[in-house]
């Protein structure tokens, strides 16, 4: 019997992660939550003393629990579970950073111009509520609109205006009419902007929210670690759970792959759409994305494991995609790597997945770690 993944635990943590702002570059708060979660799963005491340590995670972060936890200097986290084979180690990653924005300019009107962080198109955020994260800790809400949003003022132009960055602005929910008044709030160029995730779990088992890419997978890794730790099952090989914080801008796992890693599974959203086999109810296994083919042997083994354990799965080619596994490979890691994850509909827009897809992903990872 394979250890069971506690799906309620996964879903609870997922909602907490989704509702904590974490655009790439602004992840300290969410990483503190991640550290706390792994410390609770691993049974070790929480505290700052475990940071740093050996680069293979061997001695760096033991807290008396089953998981050794350490942080990378750039803010990522690695939780290590010792396995029977300590030489041929395995790495599972998920990224906790998300799309977002940054204040580019304070306009004479007191409204804000912004630049996107990661690949959020203006279409996908038009009308979205957002939060400006001022450097002094104050938070201000606003709405992302076109510069000609009022239909009763701009008529046809309101419809026809091209949706591109220079035509978008943020209307602050503050009584400001000049740049000086906005600055007086503590808002400045360089402040991070978080999009409202609009997280909702429906009775039919769907979870719809922004940023399921890739917080769903972070929650999956919590569930997988908990299943193994609680069942007191040692994985076949020492396994690192790596939560990265710069994936959306391309360099999440370009640093931090422990040196004894032989196999690396980046757990990230599975693509869903026309010409794609996967859906929200299965684990998607990526054969190839824009960065090239992933490891053939790993793909075959994962498909075999899914079949043997009756886990709903599909193999796909992702047309516009790169992952932390590609970042690690490009940075020179000598690893065999692949991407898998629950199918996510409408990625980088109003995303949605289903509890069944999340469960399939967690189940396949548990089966893999025991194989
Ligand atoms: Zn992602």
Q: Residue 371, Cα to own-chain centre: how many angstroms? A: 26
pLDDT tens track for 264-303: 999 999 999 999 999 999 999 999 999 999 999 999 999 9
Q: How far is the CA of 103 from the centre of ligand 1 (A)?
A: 23
Buried b (16+ CB within 10 A) or exposed e, 115-134: ebbbebebebbeebebbbbb
Sign of CA dihedral 29, 32, 33, 34: positive
Question: Which two structure tokens, joined as six digits, stand for 310?
Answer: 């009756």
Report residue 166: phi and psi, to 5°. Answer: -70, -15
Question: 133 or 46: whose pLDDT is higher?
Answer: 133
Indicate the pTM of the whole model: 0.94
Predicted local distance difference test score (pLDDT) of residue 355: 98
Buried b (16+ CB within 10 A) or exposed e, 179-198: beebeebebeeebbbbbbbe
Checking if the pLDDT of 45 tops 60, the result is no
Question: 90 or 120: whose pLDDT is higher?
Answer: 90
Checking if the pLDDT of 129 tops 80, the result is yes
> What is the C-alpha to C-alpha distance for residues 214 and 71, in angstroms, rounded to an integer?
19
pLDDT tens track for 63-110: 447 999 999 999 999 999 999 999 999 999 999 999 999 999 999 999
What is the average pLDDT across 42-54? 48
Question: Which two structure tokens, joined as six digits, stand for 216?
Answer: 């769903």
Torsion-angle region of 47 (φ positive above 0: left; ψ -120 to 50: alpha; else: beta): left
Q: Residue 45 carries which DSSP code?
A: P
Predicted local distance difference test score (pLDDT) of residue 53: 38
Helix (H) and strand (E) counts for the chain?
A: 10, 19
pLDDT tens track for 300-328: 999 999 999 999 999 999 999 999 999 99
Q: How far is the CA of 148 from the centre of ligand 1 (A)?
A: 32
Domains and CATH numbers, the chain: 7-97+211-370 (3.40.630.10), 100-195 (2.40.30.40)
Q: How far is CA 49 from CA 281, 296, 338, in A?
A: 41, 40, 33
Print the SS3 string covering 173-184: CCCCCCHHHHHH
- Mean per-residue pLDDT of the chain: 94
Burial class (CB in 10 A: 0-12, 13-18, 19+), 306: buried
> What is the C-alpha to C-alpha distance for residues 366 and 225, in angstroms, rounded to an integer?
9
Question: 203 or 62: whose pLDDT is higher?
Answer: 203
For residue 280, indicate whether it is catalytic.
no
Largest Cα separation within the chain, whole Å, is: 69
Checking if the pLDDT of 59 tops 80, the result is no
Predicted local distance difference test score (pLDDT) of residue 46: 44
Is the omega angle on the peptide bond into residue 227 within 30 degrees of 0, that is, cis? Answer: no
> What is the C-alpha to C-alpha distance for residues 361 and 219, in angstroms, rounded to an integer?
11
pLDDT tens track for 347-368: 999 999 999 999 999 999 999 9
Q: How far is the CA of 247 from the centre of ligand 1 (A)?
A: 7
Q: From the candidates 35, 68, 169, 247, give the one annotated as an active-site residue.
A: 247
Q: How far is the CA of 169 from the centre of ligand 1 (A)?
A: 26
Confidence of residue 250 (pLDDT cuts 50, 70, 90): very high
For tokens 């790993």, what's the residue? 298
Checking if the pLDDT of 43 tops 90, the result is no
Q: Residue 53, Cα to own-chain centre: how many angstroms? A: 25
> What is the C-alpha to C-alpha distance for residues 344 and 358, in angstroms, rounded to an integer?
10
Predicted local distance difference test score (pLDDT) of residue 61: 41
Q: How far is the CA of 245 from the centre of ligand 1 (A)?
A: 11
């Amino acid at each position: 019997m394979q250890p069971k993944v506690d799906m309620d635990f996964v879903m609870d943590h997922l909602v907490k992660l989704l509702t904590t702002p974490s655009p790439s570059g602004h992840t300290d708060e969410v990483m503190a939550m991640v550290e706390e979660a792994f410390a609770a799963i691993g049974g070790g005491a929480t505290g700052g003393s475990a940071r740093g340590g050996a680069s293979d995670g061997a001695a760096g972060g033991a807290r008396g629990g089953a998981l050794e936890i350490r942080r990378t200097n750039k803010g990522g986290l690695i939780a290590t579970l010792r396995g029977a084979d300590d030489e041929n180690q395995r790495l599972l990653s998920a990224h906790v950073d998300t799309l977002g924005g940054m204040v580019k300019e304070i306009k004479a009107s007191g409204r804000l111009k912004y630049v996107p962080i990661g690949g959020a198109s203006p279409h996908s955020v038009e009308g979205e509520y957002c939060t400006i994260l001022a450097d002094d800790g104050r938070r201000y809400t606003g709405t992302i609109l076109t510069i000609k949003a009022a239909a009763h003022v701009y008529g046809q132009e309101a419809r026809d205006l091209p949706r591109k960055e220079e035509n978008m602005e943020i209307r602050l929910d503050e009584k400001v009419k000049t740049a000086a008044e906005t600055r007086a709030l503590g808002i400045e160029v360089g402040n991070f902007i978080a999009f409202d995730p609009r997280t909702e779990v429906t009775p039919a088992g769907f979870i719809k929210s922004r940023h399921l890419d890739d917080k769903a997978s972070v929650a999956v890794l919590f569930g997988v670690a908990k299943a193994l730790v609680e069942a007191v099952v040692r994985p076949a090989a020492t396994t690192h759970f790596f939560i990265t914080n710069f994936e959306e801008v391309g360099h999440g796992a370009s640093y931090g792959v422990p040196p004894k890693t032989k196999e690396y599974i980046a757990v990230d959203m599975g693509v869903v759409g026309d010409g794609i086999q996967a859906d929200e109810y299965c684990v998607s296994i990526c054969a190839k994305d824009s960065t090239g083919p992933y490891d053939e042997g790993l793909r075959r083994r994962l498909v075999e494991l899914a079949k043997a354990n009756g886990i709903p799965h599909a193999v796909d080619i992702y047309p516009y995609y790169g992952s932390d596994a590609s970042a690690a490979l490009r940075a020179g890691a000598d690893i065999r790597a692949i991407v898998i994850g629950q199918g996510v509909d409408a990625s980088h827009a109003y995303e949605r997945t289903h509890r069944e897809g999340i469960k399939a992903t967690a189940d396949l990872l548990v089966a893999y770690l025991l194989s």
